[in-house]
Amino acid sequence: MNNWLLFILAVLLGSYLLEQTLSYLNIKALNNTVPEEFQDVFKAKEYDKSQDYTRVTGRFGMVESSFSIIVLLIFLLTGGFNTVDIFIRSFQFGAVTTGVLYIGLLLLLSSILSFPFTLYSTFIIEEKFGFNNTTLKTFWTDLIKGIFLSILIGVPILYLILWFFETTGEIAWLYCWGGLTLITLLLQFLAPVLIMPLFNKFTPLEDGALKEKVLAFAEDASFSIQGIYTMDGSKRSSKLNAFFTGFGRFRKIVFYDTLLEKLNDDELVAVLAHEMGHFKHRHIFKMMAISTCYTGLLFFLLSLFLGNANLFAAFQMENISIYGSLIFFSFIFSPLSLLLGIAINILSRKHEFEADRYAANSTGQTSSLISGLKKLSVANLSNLTPHPAMVFFHYSHPPILVRIDALRKVFTTNQTQ
């Protein structure tokens, strides 16, 4: 049997078994006793509901991944990738156009298969636990807008990548890396202005005590912002969130309308200070630099596998192509991607602790940040006791109990100084 095929099958089955094991351990780690830290905000009935939410979503994810791996293995072993290639080639377009259509059709097939799971998750699971506010009209409108943006943005990027590899030889990966980096930076500026408003309504925060506190804190922290906005997050979900968007003087503070309903002014300022901490510690730029290096590594390694006949034979392909290499390399890159993802998550968790410390120290309101985080966890039915293995592999934020414990230590340290 083809060695590449054996390797790819091992990767697919290994990844599947790992994710199933992590989900199983995470469900088994659920504890029916409300942690002491949350006994003042989490009623027993609501805590049971949060446990059930983790259990249901975890099992649903296990079912979805089982379905996906079965379909993918059948598609792979029966020559599905070659069948699609032969079909696209029958139109006799150029190599780059053929590649765009080939990858586009594979993505379309994948989306069609995952569509029932998306519907069930949104309108059954999220509805059951009181999160879903999405109407069918909003759902279909979002879907159409998403497809439009994917075509408008994704197709030119994919066309550019394939064109570079088809025409610029051994240094094509450098052109792709540079081109994609520039496009990514451009989108960082355009997204808040052109893309996000397509899906949500942004309204300037009304004058009042909260706005005054936010502006005063931003001024004290020498943090320039363009404005403070609320976003109609309740249009789709009752979950809470807040974020910054934009760079430099174009930065905007955005609160979900659901967040304004649940947190008091001091808690909102503390949550805002946490997000500001990411900027003060330059976490955003560090992560962008890491992402840029990651992309460069990806394109370099891809260039080493272009036209690998044995790799194409593993997928039963009759024709060797640049676009085929792009798809098949993603299977090979998966183990390294997992390892890099773990490292990035470890760094991200470190950044969260740093941002928490900044918020606690800059506001002098550690208790407000703690109470705000607790309210967020309760409202979002967060899992308070995730399994350590799940945290290690997939959590970009530390578990909430660990964060609160670290914040209490910061408070104690400040009190003794």
pLDDT digits (tens, 9 = 90+) for 86-104: 999 999 999 999 999 999 9
What gap in Å lies between CA 59 and CA 57, rounded to an integer?
6
List the one residue out of 343, 369, 368 whose CA is nearest residue 355. Answer: 369
What gap in Å lies between CA 76 and CA 220, rounded to an integer?
58
List the one residue out of 274, 323, 38, 312 whose CA is nearest residue 165. Answer: 323
Q: How confident is the model at residue 247 (pLDDT cuts 50, 70, 90)?
A: low
pLDDT digits (tens, 9 = 90+) for 347-358: 999 999 999 999
Domain 202-262 homologous superfamily, CATH: Metalloproteases ("zincins"), catalytic domain (3.30.2010.10)
Place of tokens 């200070």: 273
pTM across the whole model: 0.89
CATH 3.30.2010.10 in the chain is located at: 202-262
Quick count: other Cβ atoms within 10 Å of Cβ 387?
20
Q: Is the pLDDT at 130 greater than 70, yes or no?
A: yes
Token code pair at residue 340: 């890099």
Residues 190-210, mean pLDDT to the nearest whole number: 84
Q: Is the pLDDT at 340 greater than 70, yes or no?
A: yes
**Amino acid 417: pLDDT:** 57
Token code pair at residue 58: 């975890």
pLDDT digits (tens, 9 = 90+) for 220-229: 877 777 778 8
**Amino acid 250: pLDDT:** 66
**Amino acid 262: pLDDT:** 85
Q: How confident is the model at residue 321 (pLDDT cuts 50, 70, 90)?
A: very high
Q: How confident is the model at residue 235 (pLDDT cuts 50, 70, 90)?
A: confident
Q: Please, what is the average pLDDT of the chain? A: 91
Place of tokens 């905007």: 252
Helix ranges restricted to H, 29-132: 44-77, 80-89, 95-120, 126-128
- Give the whole-number percent of the chain exceeding pLDDT 90: 66
Phi-psi region of 355 (alpha: psi -120 to 50; beta: other; left: phi over 0): alpha
What gap in Å lies between CA 164 and CA 108, rounded to an integer?
24
- C-beta separation of 202 from 230 below 8 A: yes
**Amino acid 414: pLDDT:** 65
Quick count: other Cβ atoms within 10 Å of Cβ 325?
21
Residues 163-190, mean pLDDT to the nearest whole number: 91
pLDDT digits (tens, 9 = 90+) for 42-61: 888 889 999 999 999 999 99
